[in-house]
A and B are shown apart, each in its own frame.
Chain A
Amino acid sequence: MGSGALFIAVFLACVVEAVEATTIVLAAGTARDWRSAMIGMAGALAVLAIVVATAGPAVSELPLRGLRLVVGALLLIFGLQWLRKAILRASGHQARHDEDKIFAGQLAAAAGQSRRRVGLVPDWYGFTLSFKGVLLEGLEVVFIVLTFGGNQHNVGLAAVAAGCAVLLVATAGVAIRSPLSRVPENTMKFVVGIMLTAFGVFWGAEGAGADWPGSDAALLALVPAIGVFALILVALMRGSRRTAAVAAAEGGS
């Protein structure tokens, strides 16, 4: 896996998570108090940076084979969960991720809470909403940075890719001050799910002692093969949904 592929994989995954975190920060800022929301976001980003700075070097020191086994297993579990959700959404079995709807829900929930000043933070609820949102979404970013970066012994580049994604999304969010609903989040989640799954399969098998035919080139076959398989599953799931809907309509008439 080259540096470019590492950068793109981490960047795409982090954009998805950053969009979700930005929606929460925007809701906290709009409904409560911008200063508190920004302090909450900065606090969470500082915690996440400390986690990467302390865990990054430690992960890079681990023996490659053991690291690949653990990382491969976790990436495969993560990737399959992302892909599962993306297929369910694409086939209509689950509602698509809608940032506008989530933003409206967050606004309604935040507006009903009382205001309380704690130290430098004018509104504690706005601060905790923003802090928790960024921290929880950010933990997935940290996981991706450490696993991809650790495997390539280049946590620094992975962290830069994540930083660029966060900066880009945060700047766009602050500039337009509304949820980034135009970002094709569902499609991106589908693509990232395929990539996480492919790398999970590749590194997991290598970590467990298997040798891939063609070595690293096997990844070039794995990524499109998993993509095609996922698209076939979407088509099959759509078909089964249509069949069920027709059967239900006929049963009702």
Chain B
Amino acid sequence: MTRRARAFAAFCYDFVLGDDWLIAAGVVISLALTYGLSRAAVPAWWLLPLALVLLLPLSLWRAARRR
């Protein structure tokens, strides 16, 4: 039972987070910041594109360094 639960947790982790947890963490933080700015009535549409421009090269650099 524990083995199956562990296997399921590993599958979920792999399915959602994939090869680099940094991307998932960065997306969640960026969305939280977007929500915060929007609540403060500050235009926040630019934040996710900016996060993308930072996160993707960073994740690629980490992957290339590992190989």
Are A77 and B52 within 8 A (Cβ)?
Answer: no
Which residues of the partner chain A approach B9 to less than 8 Å between Cβ atoms?
A: none
**Which residues on B sit within 8 Å (CB–CB) of A76?**
27, 48, 52
Which of A109-117, A158-166, A167-175, A207-215 forms contacts with chain B? A207-215
Does A25 belong to the interface (CB within 8 Å)? no
Beyond A73-B28, A80-B52, A205-B34, is A210–B43 a contact (Cβ under 8 Å)? yes
CB neighbours of A240 from chain B (8 A): 64
Q: Residues 188-222 of chain A: 1 if any B CB is under 8 Å from the residue's CB, otherwise 0?
A: 00000000010011001101111111000010001
Whether the Cβ atoms of B63 and A218 lie closer than 8 Å is: no
Q: Taking the complex as formed, is B31 at the interface, i.e. its CB lies under 8 A from any CB of chain A?
A: yes
Residue ID in chain A nearest B16 by CB atoms: A77
Q: Is A242 an interface residue (CB 8 A)?
A: no
Q: For the complex formed, measure the closest distance between the CB of A58 and the CB atoms of chain B, giving whole angstroms.
A: 19
Q: Quick one: which of B1-50 are within 8 Å of A by CB?
A: 15-20, 23-24, 27-28, 31-32, 34-35, 37-39, 43-45, 47-49
User: Which of A5-13, A32-40, A85-93 lies at the binding interface?
Assistant: A85-93
- Interface size class of chain B, counting residues whose CB lies under 8 Å from the partner chain: 20 to 34
Q: Is the CB of B19 within 8 A of A93?
A: no
CB neighbours of A212 from chain B (8 A): 45
> Inside 8 A of B16's CB, which chain A residues have their CB?
74, 77
Contacts of B60 in A (CB 8 A): 84, 87-88, 233, 237
Q: Considering the chains assembled together, what is the distance between the CA atoms of A93 and B63 in angstroms?
A: 9
Judge whether B49 and A222 touch: CB under 8 Å.
yes
Is A69 close to B, CB under 8 A?
Answer: yes
A83 within 8 A of B: yes
Q: Is the CB of B24 within 8 A of A237?
A: no
Report the nearest A residue to B33, measured CB to CB. A208
Nearest CB on B from A226, distance (A): 7
What are 9 A-B pairs at a CB distance below 8 A?
Answer: A72-B31, A77-B17, A77-B24, A80-B23, A84-B56, A88-B60, A197-B52, A218-B45, A226-B52
- Give me the interface of A with B, judged by CB distance under 8 Å: 69, 72-74, 76-78, 80-81, 83-85, 87-88, 93-94, 139-140, 197, 200-201, 204-205, 207-213, 218, 222, 225-226, 229-230, 233, 237, 240-241
B residues bordering A, Cβ < 8 Å?
Answer: 15-20, 23-24, 27-28, 31-32, 34-35, 37-39, 43-45, 47-49, 52-53, 55-57, 59-60, 63-64, 67
